[in-house]
């Protein structure tokens, strides 16, 4: 029976010789397919491993959280971008108190006891 190309179709046990270029392309393609199969197997193994690590980490984290005291829910912890360390924002009142500058009286360091007592009185007045 003729094919579209006009050649006769014959059933024979001997394979038809293939073009060497096509044979090279076919072997290269098969080798790459095998490599892709190996990569897929490794990727599946790694996915399973990551899933196990996540489960272990979740159970480990929950154990740690049970042992640690609870923080107030209103206190937020943020992470510093450069160092990666967590810090808690300051209380607004604390920031206000830190911004206040106090002019305390200077002690000139003389050996006069009366001058020292006056300076000490002035310091006590500031911190009362």
Each residue of 22-55: pLDDT tens digit?
A: 889 999 999 999 999 999 999 999 999 999 988 8
Which contiguous run of DSSP H or E holds residue 86?
A: strand 86-87
For the record, the structure tokens of 105 come out as 């009286």
Residues of the chain with pLDDT under 70: 1-2, 9-15, 60-90
- Can you tell me the distance from the alpha carbon of 29 to that of 38, in angstroms, rounded to the nearest whole number? 14
Q: What per-residue confidence (pLDDT) applies to 36? A: 93
Let me know: does 88 contact 69? Beta carbons within 8 Å. no
pLDDT for 94 equals 79
Residue 77 pLDDT: 57
Give me the residue label for tokens 């912890």.
Answer: 77
Predicted local distance difference test score (pLDDT) of residue 65: 54
Provide the pLDDT for residue 89.
62
What would the two tokens of residue 45 be?
A: 């193994």
Q: What is the DSSP string of 62-82?
A: HHHHHHSPPPPTT---EE-TT
Q: How much is the pLDDT for 28?
A: 93
DSSP-derived letter for residue 4 is: T
pLDDT of residue 61: 61
Which one, of 29, 3, 31, lies nearest residue 16 by Cα?
Answer: 3
């Amino acid at each position: 029976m003729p094919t579209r190309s006009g050649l006769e179709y014959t059933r024979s046990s001997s394979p038809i010789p293939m073009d060497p270029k096509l044979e090279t392309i076919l072997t290269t393609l098969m080798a790459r397919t095998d490599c892709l199969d190996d990569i897929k197997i490794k990727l599946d193994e790694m996915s399973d491993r990551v899933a196990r690590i996540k489960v272990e980490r979740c159970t480990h984290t929950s154990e740690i959280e049970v042992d640690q005291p609870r923080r107030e829910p209103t206190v937020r912890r943020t992470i510093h971008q450069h160092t990666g360390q967590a810090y808690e924002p300051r209380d607004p009142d604390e920031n206000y108190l830190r911004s206040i500058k106090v002019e305390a009286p200077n002690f000139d360091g003389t050996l006069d006891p009366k001058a020292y007592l006056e300076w000490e009185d002035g310091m006590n007045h500031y911190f009362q």
